[in-house]
Amino acid sequence: MTKTVTFKEGEIIYRFGEKANGAYIIKRGKVSINTPKQVKLATLGEGELFGELGQIVDSQRSATVRATTDCALTFIPDRILQEKFKKCDPAIIGMFRAMAIRLKKANEHNDHIQEENNQLKVKIKNLEPWNIVLY
Protein backbone atom coordinates (compact mmCIF):
# COMPACT_ATOMS: atom_id res chain seq x y z
CA MET A 1 0.00 0.00 0.00
CA THR A 2 1.24 3.50 -0.77
CA LYS A 3 1.48 6.11 1.96
CA THR A 4 2.05 9.84 2.20
CA VAL A 5 5.32 10.93 3.78
CA THR A 6 6.44 14.48 4.52
CA PHE A 7 9.83 16.17 4.57
CA LYS A 8 10.84 19.65 5.69
CA GLU A 9 12.87 21.97 3.48
CA GLY A 10 16.51 20.84 3.49
CA GLU A 11 15.84 17.30 4.71
CA ILE A 12 17.49 14.40 2.89
CA ILE A 13 14.92 11.98 1.47
CA TYR A 14 17.60 9.42 0.62
CA ARG A 15 21.34 9.33 -0.04
CA PHE A 16 23.49 7.93 -2.81
CA GLY A 17 24.38 4.30 -2.11
CA GLU A 18 21.52 3.55 0.27
CA LYS A 19 19.40 0.48 -0.38
CA ALA A 20 16.49 1.33 -2.68
CA ASN A 21 13.20 0.43 -1.06
CA GLY A 22 10.67 2.22 -3.24
CA ALA A 23 9.87 5.28 -5.33
CA TYR A 24 8.12 8.58 -4.68
CA ILE A 25 5.58 10.76 -6.45
CA ILE A 26 5.57 14.43 -5.45
CA LYS A 27 2.16 15.55 -4.21
CA ARG A 28 3.34 18.97 -3.00
CA GLY A 29 6.71 20.73 -2.98
CA LYS A 30 10.01 20.36 -4.80
CA VAL A 31 13.05 18.12 -4.51
CA SER A 32 16.60 18.39 -5.81
CA ILE A 33 18.44 15.38 -7.23
CA ASN A 34 22.25 15.47 -6.92
CA THR A 35 25.12 13.16 -7.79
CA PRO A 36 27.65 12.11 -5.13
CA LYS A 37 29.90 15.00 -6.30
CA GLN A 38 26.97 17.41 -5.75
CA VAL A 39 26.20 17.95 -9.44
CA LYS A 40 22.57 19.04 -9.55
CA LEU A 41 20.79 16.73 -11.96
CA ALA A 42 17.25 18.03 -11.63
CA THR A 43 14.69 19.85 -9.57
CA LEU A 44 11.37 18.03 -9.59
CA GLY A 45 7.92 19.25 -8.65
CA GLU A 46 4.31 18.20 -8.26
CA GLY A 47 3.31 15.02 -10.08
CA GLU A 48 6.86 13.90 -10.85
CA LEU A 49 8.29 10.49 -9.96
CA PHE A 50 11.74 9.75 -8.55
CA GLY A 51 13.51 6.81 -6.92
CA GLU A 52 12.48 4.29 -9.54
CA LEU A 53 16.00 3.79 -10.91
CA GLY A 54 17.10 1.69 -7.94
CA GLN A 55 14.18 -0.64 -8.45
CA ILE A 56 15.06 -1.28 -12.09
CA VAL A 57 18.83 -1.18 -12.49
CA ASP A 58 20.13 -2.25 -9.10
CA SER A 59 19.24 -2.11 -5.45
CA GLN A 60 21.18 1.04 -4.51
CA ARG A 61 20.31 4.71 -4.84
CA SER A 62 22.18 6.37 -7.69
CA ALA A 63 21.74 9.93 -6.37
CA THR A 64 20.95 11.94 -3.26
CA VAL A 65 17.54 13.59 -3.06
CA ARG A 66 16.84 16.57 -0.80
CA ALA A 67 13.62 18.48 -0.18
CA THR A 68 14.10 22.01 -1.51
CA THR A 69 10.74 23.04 -0.02
CA ASP A 70 8.44 21.39 2.49
CA CYS A 71 7.16 18.31 0.66
CA ALA A 72 4.37 15.76 0.72
CA LEU A 73 5.28 12.63 -1.23
CA THR A 74 3.47 9.42 -2.07
CA PHE A 75 5.81 6.55 -1.22
CA ILE A 76 5.43 3.44 -3.40
CA PRO A 77 7.15 0.45 -1.75
CA ASP A 78 9.42 -1.81 -3.77
CA ARG A 79 7.01 -4.77 -3.59
CA ILE A 80 4.23 -2.74 -5.23
CA LEU A 81 6.58 -1.53 -7.97
CA GLN A 82 7.74 -5.12 -8.59
CA GLU A 83 4.11 -6.29 -8.83
CA LYS A 84 3.39 -3.59 -11.41
CA PHE A 85 6.52 -4.51 -13.43
CA LYS A 86 5.46 -8.18 -13.47
CA LYS A 87 2.15 -7.17 -15.08
CA CYS A 88 3.81 -5.10 -17.83
CA ASP A 89 4.51 -6.19 -21.36
CA PRO A 90 8.16 -7.39 -21.60
CA ALA A 91 8.83 -4.81 -24.33
CA ILE A 92 7.77 -1.98 -21.99
CA ILE A 93 9.95 -3.40 -19.20
CA GLY A 94 12.88 -3.59 -21.64
CA MET A 95 12.42 0.01 -22.77
CA PHE A 96 12.11 1.24 -19.19
CA ARG A 97 15.23 -0.68 -18.15
CA ALA A 98 17.22 0.66 -21.14
CA MET A 99 16.26 4.24 -20.30
CA ALA A 100 17.12 3.69 -16.64
CA ILE A 101 20.57 2.33 -17.54
CA ARG A 102 21.22 5.28 -19.87
CA LEU A 103 20.14 7.71 -17.17
CA LYS A 104 22.44 6.09 -14.62
CA LYS A 105 25.38 6.27 -17.06
CA ALA A 106 24.60 9.92 -17.84
CA ASN A 107 24.55 10.72 -14.11
CA GLU A 108 27.92 9.02 -13.66
CA HIS A 109 29.27 10.95 -16.67
CA ASN A 110 28.08 14.23 -15.14
CA ASP A 111 30.00 13.40 -11.97
CA HIS A 112 33.13 12.60 -13.99
CA ILE A 113 32.89 15.91 -15.86
CA GLN A 114 32.42 17.78 -12.56
CA GLU A 115 35.54 16.12 -11.13
CA GLU A 116 37.57 17.08 -14.22
CA ASN A 117 36.21 20.64 -13.99
CA ASN A 118 37.25 20.87 -10.33
CA GLN A 119 40.75 19.61 -11.17
CA LEU A 120 41.09 22.20 -13.96
CA LYS A 121 40.00 24.98 -11.59
CA VAL A 122 42.75 23.99 -9.17
CA LYS A 123 45.34 23.93 -11.98
CA ILE A 124 44.25 27.34 -13.25
CA LYS A 125 44.34 28.78 -9.74
CA ASN A 126 47.90 27.51 -9.31
CA LEU A 127 49.17 29.08 -12.53
CA GLU A 128 51.47 32.04 -12.03
CA PRO A 129 50.50 35.13 -14.05
CA TRP A 130 53.86 35.23 -15.83
CA ASN A 131 53.43 31.66 -17.10
CA ILE A 132 50.23 32.44 -18.93
CA VAL A 133 50.48 33.30 -22.62
CA LEU A 134 47.43 35.02 -24.04
CA TYR A 135 46.77 34.83 -27.76
Q: What are phi and psi of 64, to 5 degrees?
A: -105, 135
Task: Give the pLDDT of residue 130.
Answer: 58
Note if the pTM is more than 0.85. no
- Determine the pLDDT at residue 49: 94
Round to whole Å and give the CA distance between 77 and 105: 25
Q: Which domains does the chain have, with CATH numbers?
A: 3-126 (2.60.120.10)
Which region, left, alpha or beta, applies to residue 109 given φ > 0 means left and ψ of -120 to 50 means alpha?
alpha
Q: Return phi, psi of residue 71, to 5°.
A: -130, 150
**pLDDT score recorded for residue 135:** 59
pLDDT on residue 29: 98
* pLDDT value for 9: 98
Predicted confidence at residue 77, as pLDDT, reads: 94
Q: What pLDDT does residue 50 have? A: 94
Q: What is the pLDDT of residue 30?
A: 98
pLDDT along the chain (135 residues), means of 10: 95 94 96 90 95 77 95 95 86 86 85 87 75 59
Whether residue 34 contacts residue 40, with contact meaning beta carbons closer than 8 Å, is answered with: yes
Residues 6 or more apart whose Cβ sits within 8 Å of residue 32? 40, 42, 43, 65, 66, 68
CA–CA dist 36, 28 (Å, integer): 25
